[in-house]
Amino acid sequence: MRMLGAGDVAPDLELLSLEGKRQPLAALWSGGAAVLVLFKVSCPVCQLALPFLERISHGSLRIAGVSQDNAAATASFRARFGVTFSTLIDDSEGGYAASNALGITSVPSIFVVEPDGVISKSFAGFSKQALEELGQRAGSPPFRPEDNVPAWKAG
């Protein structure tokens, strides 16, 4: 299985919102570029990365989480780590449709999807440089001078 990357078309699947409503993924990027971050609540690298993605979400890029856990566990994670951006559910009961369609093998896995549905960037794990680039594009830096973060951590 290969993780989708630059030039690939993002899958147009429907996932459940935390409120239990079906939402097409394509709706996330139809109004402008969007960042999809697939994560698992028990993943330490996800716990590191998502608060920085939250900071980026206050800029011009739409950020959307796709959780591999159920709605209750995901809601608890969001509260604990201060995540307010939209989050959809891709749990095992649905067969991890989004995770499989995107070809991920670890979390967090992050995809930048342009308005035409084409992926312009993807990476797995925590990459300080990649998050800084997303922050520059969004006009909302992810890191503060006092943040002591690694350059990279595998997911």
Domain annotation covers residue 131: yes
Residue 61 structural domain: 14-139
Domain annotation covers residue 54: yes
Q: Which two tokens stand for residue 2?
A: 């290969």
Query: Do β-strands 109-113 and 119-124 pair in parallel, antiparallel, or remain unpaired?
Result: antiparallel
Look at the chain and report how many structural domains it folds into.
1
Q: Which of 61, 8, 15 is nearest to 38 (CA)?
A: 15
- pLDDT at position 43: 98
Domain annotation covers residue 155: no
Domain annotation covers residue 76: yes
Domain annotation covers residue 130: yes
Domain annotation covers residue 74: yes
Mean pLDDT by 10 residues, the chain (155 residues): 95 93 94 97 98 98 96 97 97 86 97 98 98 98 97 95
Query: Computed over its alpha carbons, how large is the radius of gyration of the chain?
Result: 14
The CATH number that applies at residue 21 is 3.40.30.10
Domain annotation covers residue 146: no
Assess contact for 59 and 28: CB atoms under 8 A. Answer: no
Assess contact for 93 and 59: CB atoms under 8 A. Answer: no
